[in-house]
Amino acid sequence: MGIRIVQVDAFTLRPFAGNPAAVCVLRESASEQWMRDVAREMNLSETAFLVAREDGYNLRWFTPAVEVDLCGHATVASAHVLWQDGHLPEGRQARFHTRSGLLTADRRGDWIELDFPAKIAVAAEAPAELLPALGIGGAKFVGRNAFDYLVEVDSEETVRALSPDHTALRKVPVRGVIVTARSSRPEFDFVSRFFAPGVGVDEDPVTGSAHTALGPYWAGILGKSELTAFQASARGGVVKVRVRGDRVLLGGQAVTVMVGELLV
């Protein structure tokens, strides 16, 4: 009997938008090499692997190249699959044990809300290659957290027009680079894009974990703790953000687009 694998578009309710993730709910732990092989075969920004335990699920995330410490969209996708496929009753909280500690997901109507640790970016000097690799001459702010650089630029138009040199960005010693600006549209507070060629993802379509930095950053600038964000990749996606002290609550929607069976 094969292993069910589900492909979900997260941070959207429209198929072929948002960020795709593959989800495998395993009957028992698998070898790390097998998980890496499956992630490389799926060739999505993240593949999630879950194994049930008494108080929730162990959850690991893999890009086609590496295992990562925190991933938002594949966690939204994982919770969606647990409820959709009957692993959990629809109203029960999903609890995930991860390399970033205990994470939870709750159903909020059509939305799934994740409870993640805040990853605040503090002001930092930009490496010499960073802004030239992004193709920009300057920035309003450059900061860094445990994972990424965060760069604020002058406008949404600048964010949307970026065409980075991914070979040069790959040399920057972080997981990825978040570029953001205040939104020019009233329905959103800010926009962003996320580039992570160093971990095998030139541009991530919608990055939940990046919003654990973006949420506190924009909450401080805009003076509000509840924000709505748009990640302006080609696929695009919406993230609702609530900043609660050292936690950031991320809201996203999800839709299943494909179900398959792994035969090996």
Active site residues: 46
261/222 Cα distance (integer angstroms)? 46
End-to-end alpha-carbon separation of the chain, Å?
10
Strand partners for 190: 182, 229
Answer whether 231's CB lies under 8 Å from 10's CB.
no
User: What residues have CB less than 8 Å from 122, skipping those under 6 apart?
Assistant: 143, 144, 145
* Residue 219, CA atoms < 13 Å, CB-side half-sphere: 22
AA identity, residue 113: E
- The angle subtended at Cα 232 by Cα 227 and Cα 237, nearest 5°, is 65
Q: How far is CA 118 from CA 38, 103, 121, 143, 239, in A?
A: 30, 12, 9, 14, 15
Location of structure tokens 């703790």: 225
Q: Identify the burial level of 1 via C-beta atoms within 10 angstroms of its C-beta, where 0-12 means exposed, 13-18 middle and 19 or more buried.
A: exposed
Tokens of 173: 């010693």
Answer whether 205's CB lies under 8 Å from 196's CB.
no
69/50 Cα distance (integer angstroms)? 15
